[in-house]
């Protein structure tokens, strides 16, 4: 290893996004259904792409730095946040918003602002893996607790004990997803009550990446809890995963700190223009959600009749399932199942002993069902 490199990074496994060459639609006849990263199955409508292309041609000066204050975008986001929480008159303003190169960047900024050099972070597994990965890259210790076997509710007793007993450094931040990924369950009243009971010295990050699908938000609670922050993204329901735009809603004092921590020009002019166009056309873009939810219900109904599978209810645009079979073979069999799906062109995410499957177009979902039935039959033969 090169002698100047931090020793702990040598042991470290990088997050593996699917290499684009693996996921790109092949020129051959094999159809690839990319149901492994919870994106929207729908691209931006052509009319909006044309608007974006026009903005690029006519407005954006590529020789100039982008607006490093994100002024226009922050105002539009604040308006959307108020509207999405039915807050009238408006409560949140630009002062409550920070935007970043995907919510991944915000996760890193949050860790820098709360834990770096002073604290540990608490997560409840299985959950979004980037919290622990980013903490590791910063040398921040991660304390992990588990979830209940069947409901995937956080083991609150273990979490409380971790908060009380972790020393050197103590827990300074907790990350939860609402609804959780990969398990698709929203925070329960008991989990919310526990989060409310946490002392002000602990940052509570509530990641609402899938808010538009769940339609449940805790954003109004930010007013009572200055130590809470809500994270959101344009990568899912707003169909802009390629553009990398995420944002958070928080107390203005904390936003000031996050603005100090981020890179000065963290968002390109093109990405900002895309996010603005998406917000201006939100009715059109979000009109695909009812159909995705109907498809989810169909998929859940059919899969829950499959005797080999345990399928969980979902509040997001993906579902989570495991094999009913117990024991060490389960891991092996789920791997085989995933390989068979992949060979048939259905890409899903194998995670925590199960499969997370994004809801796609009706045609994609039909293929998922067929391929899953075939793969299950093959396992038995
Ligand atoms: C819970 C959660 N948070 C954050 C992200 C990252 O989103 P972004 O594309 O904005 O970085 C994801 C992406 O899958 C996610 O599932």
pLDDT (tens digit per residue) in 153-185: 999 999 999 999 999 999 999 999 999 999 999
Looking at the chain, the number of H-run helices and the number of E-run strands are 15, 13
CA pair distance 66, 47, nearest whole angstrom:
24
Ligand 1 atom 12, closest CA: 209
**275: its two tokens:** 């996010």
- To which residue do tokens 């020009």 refer? 265
CA pair distance 323, 120, nearest whole angstrom:
34
* From 82-91, 117-126, 345-354, the region with the lowest mean pLDDT: 82-91
Indicate whether 10 pLDDT > 70.
Answer: yes
All domains of the chain, ordered by start, with CATH?
17-42+288-380 (3.90.1150.10), 47-285 (3.40.640.10)
Which residues sit with their C-beta closer than 6 Å to ligand 1?
38, 102-104, 128, 177, 181, 207, 209, 233, 235, 241, 246
pLDDT (tens digit per residue) in 264-280: 999 999 999 999 999 99
Indicate whether 1 pLDDT > 60.
Answer: yes
**335: its two tokens:** 């791997």
Binning pLDDT at 50, 70 and 90, where does residue 359 land? very high
Tell me the average pLDDT of the chain.
94
Indicate whether 188 pLDDT > 80.
Answer: yes
Indicate whether 193 pLDDT > 90.
Answer: yes
Residues pairing with 99 in the sheet: 247
Cβ neighbour number for residue 177 with a 10 Å cutoff: 25
Counting from 1 in the atom list of ligand 1, the atom nearest the Cα of 210 is: 1
CA pair distance 72, 256, nearest whole angstrom:
17
Binning pLDDT at 50, 70 and 90, where does residue 73 land? very high
pLDDT (tens digit per residue) in 237-269: 999 999 999 999 999 999 999 999 999 999 999
3-state DSSP assignment of residue 17: coil
120 touches 202 (CB < 8 A): no
């Amino acid at each position: 290893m090169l002698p100047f490199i931090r020793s702990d990074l040598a042991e470290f496994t990088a997050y593996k996004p699917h290499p684009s060459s693996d996921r790109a639609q092949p020129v051959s006849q094999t159809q690839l259904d990319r149901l492994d990263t919870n994106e929207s199955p729908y691209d931006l409508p052509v009319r909006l792409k044309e608007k974006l292309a026009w903005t690029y041609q006519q407005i954006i000066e590529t020789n100039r730095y982008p607006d490093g204050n994100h002024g226009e975008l922050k105002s539009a986001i604040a308006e959307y946040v108020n509207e999405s929480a039915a807050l009238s008159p408006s409560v949140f303003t630009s002062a409550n918003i920070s935007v970043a190169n995907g919510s991944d960047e915000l996760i890193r900024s949050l860790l820098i602002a709360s834990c770096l050099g002073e604290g540990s972070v608490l997560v409840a597994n299985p959950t979004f893996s980037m919290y622990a990965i980013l903490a590791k890259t910063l040398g921040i210790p991660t304390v992990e607790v588990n979830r209940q076997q069947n409901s995937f509710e956080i083991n609150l007793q273990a979490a409380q004990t971790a908060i009380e007993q972790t020393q050197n450094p103590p827990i300074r931040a907790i990350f939860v997803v609402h609804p959780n990924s990969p398990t698709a369950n929203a925070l329960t009243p008991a989990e919310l009550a526990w989060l409310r009971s946490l002392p002000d010295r602990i940052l509570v990050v509530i990641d609402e990446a899938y808010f538009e699908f769940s339609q449940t938000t805790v954003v109004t609670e930010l007013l009572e809890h200055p130590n809470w922050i809500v994270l959101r993204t344009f990568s899912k329901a707003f169909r802009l995963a390629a553009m990398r735009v995420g944002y958070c809603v928080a107390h203005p004092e904390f936003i000031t700190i996050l603005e100090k921590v981020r890179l000065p020009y963290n968002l390109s002019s093109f990405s900002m223009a895309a996010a603005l166009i998406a917000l201006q056309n939100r009715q059109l873009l979000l009109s695909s959600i009812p159909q995705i939810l109907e498809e989810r219900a169909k998929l859940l109904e059919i899969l829950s009749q499959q005797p080999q599978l345990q399928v969980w209810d979902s509040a997001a645009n993906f579902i989570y399932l495991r094999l009913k079979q117990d024991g060490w073979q389960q891991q092996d069999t789920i791997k085989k199942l995933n390989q068979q799906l992949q060979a048939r062109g259905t890409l899903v995410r194998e995670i925590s002993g199960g499969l997370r499957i994004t809801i796609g177009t009706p045609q994609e979902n039909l293929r998922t069902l067929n391929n899953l039935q075939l793969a299950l039959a093959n396992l038995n033969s």
